[in-house]
A and B are shown apart, each in its own frame.
Chain A
Amino acid sequence: MTRASTDGQRVLAAHRFRQMLAELVDRPIRLMEVCGTHSQAIGRFGLRQLLPADLRLLSGPGCPVCVTTPGEISAMIALATSGVIVCTFGDMMRVPGHTDNGSAPPTLSLAKAQGADVRVVYSPLQAVEIAQAHPDREVVFLGVGFETTAPAVAAAVLSAARQRVPNLSVFAAHKLVPPALVALLQSPGVALDGLLCPGHVSTIIGAQAYAPLVQQYGIPCAVAGFAPGEIMAGILSLVRQVRAGEARVDNDYARAVRPEGNPLALRTMYEVFRPADTTWRGLGTIADSGLAFREAYRGFDAVARHGVEVAVLPEPPGCCCGAVLRGAISPRDCPSFGDPCRPESPVGPCMVSSEGSCAAEWRYGQLAPEVREVTA
């Protein structure tokens, strides 16, 4: 973000962070960065090299592309090949769908190359504009994303409703973070000492949203931003809580996150959608962890409108994305990691999304031990 600080200051800050952690971490500590953008930033800034051996940072289920199920992805690709215009965020283009005969899995990108009308957009509003520009075509927006994104999609739906755009619908595959965190903390074999909470989801849901987790599971939480210093501040908050035997929600991203979040955005989201059960890759079906259209906006539901069938499909053979998303294994522990699963030929979604933990590990994690030394 800002480049105001000089490089010398940054190196010094990193060095101090490393020294402080070396002193503070006096026991094995396992923290989870819930958010894929954190995973990506941690990789990009090389922050793992600053952590003592006893402090482990696990990547969590916070990559919307990664937790979208094989059935949903295959249904989206099938929709794209059925003649409608599909508008999607770029993130979804290369996610592999289901294949059962060993051939290369289908993707939206392949469907486009074979003639499907797939358009990459950066905003759901562009899908509204595309629908207005093609009144004779059906336009479907692929609604993927957490609480950060769902209000924007809801606002775009409201705008389409106001402007009476009859040919737009949304494949609502949104997911809500707090119910997934509860499921994660309840799942066997997951032993976590703290949660680095997603900064931009928290912008919407507020830092208070994690208070029930703290009360019920006694887990330390820290909401963090995405600049190196903000991530460092979040990690330090969690380590201090663990050391002190405390559990609370520290808000280390106060410039963007208020305790109550953004009530207007939440109202907008819940005007269009209501909570509904949904299935997460790796975590299974979780009650009220997704968003379904409310009755008044059912006309915008692409699944109902186009008779989309979302099948329950198995994970791709050899893919451990589910276990990776629970933090049960590290990307490197997956037998497909690197061969055959690589960013240009992904087997599972965690290798596709640049914030998927496997892609982050592939891009930023492959350093021989001899270059881990940090100069300060």
Chain B
Amino acid sequence: MCLAVPALITEITDQQALCQVGEATIRARLDLVEEAAVGDYVLVHAGYAINRLEETDALEILSLMEEAAGLDKG
């Protein structure tokens, strides 16, 4: 329903952040998140950071899949 990408905040000026998505750089407003700082991962949608992510979490898709695959008990 909504594309949002995990982005790493590299710079903040006022409420405006520069973020890395892969090797692409985007601008994102921080009006909708509390306490976002350089080094944080945020989800960016339509030019706004809509939530903060834990850095490790953003990289943990593989382990999630392993967990999904490894849980063989209902």
By a beta-carbon cutoff of 8 Å, the part of chain A in contact with chain B is 1-2, 4-5, 9-10, 12-14, 16-17, 20, 24, 34-38, 62-64, 89, 122-126, 145-146, 148-149, 151-153, 155, 158-159, 177, 198, 200-201, 203-204, 225, 227-230, 232-233, 236, 240, 243-244, 254-258, 262, 264-265, 268, 355
- The total of interchain contacts (Cβ-Cβ below 8 angstroms) comes to 159
Choose one: A2, A17, A204; the contact of B62 (CB below 8 Å): A2
The 6 closest A-B pairs by CB, nearest first: A123-B47, A229-B65, A255-B57, A148-B2, A16-B69, A5-B62
A262 touches B1 (CB 8 A): no
**B31 lies within 8 A of chain A by Cβ:** yes
B38 contacts chain A at the CB level, 8 A cutoff: no
Bound-complex Cα distance A201 to B51 (A): 11
- Bound CA span A17–B67, Å: 10
> A152-B50, A256-B43 given as contacts; is B69 within 8 A of A230 (CB)?
no
Chain B contacts for A13, CB-based, 8 A: 65-66, 68-69
Contact partner of B31 among A24, A35, A155, CB < 8 A? Answer: A155
A225 to B51, CA, bound (A): 14
Interface residues of B in 30-53 (CB under 8 A from A): 31-34, 43, 45-48, 50-51, 53
A196 to chain B, nearest CB (A): 11
Give min CB distance, A97 to chain B, whole Å: 22
Give me 6 other A-B pairs in contact (C-beta within 8 A), A38-B1, A256-B43 excluded: A151-B50, A177-B1, A198-B1, A201-B2, A203-B4, A262-B33
Q: How far is the CB of B41 from chain A (nearest CB, A)?
A: 9
State the CA gap A233–B63 with chains docked (Å).
11
Chain B residues numbered 55-74 whose CB sits less than 8 Å from any CB in chain A: 57-62, 64-72, 74
**Contact present for B60 and A123 (CB under 8 Å):** no
Chain B residues proximal to chain A, CB less than 8 Å: 1-4, 6, 29, 31-34, 43, 45-48, 50-51, 53-54, 57-62, 64-72, 74
Q: Does the CB pair A24–B2 fall under 8 Å?
A: no
- A200, B1: Cβ atoms closer than 8 Å: yes
Instruction: Decide: A152 near B72, CB < 8 A? Known: A2-B59, A37-B3, A203-B51.
Output: no
A-B contact pairs, 10 of them (CB 8 A): A9-B65, A14-B69, A36-B1, A37-B2, A125-B48, A200-B50, A255-B54, A256-B53, A264-B34, A355-B1
CA distance A64 to B45 in the complex (A): 14
CB contacts (< 8 Å) of A198 on chain B: these are: 1-2
B51 CB contacts on chain A under 8 angstroms: 203-204, 256-258, 262, 265
- Contact pick for B32, options A34, A126, A152, CB 8 Å: A152
The listed residue (A17, A34, A63, A122) touching B47 by CB distance below 8 A is A122
CB of A203, distance to nearest CB on chain B (Å): 5
Contact at A255–B2, with CB atoms within 8 Å? no
B64 contacts A125, C-beta separation under 8 Å: no
Residues from chain B with a CB closer than 8 A to the CB of A240 are 74
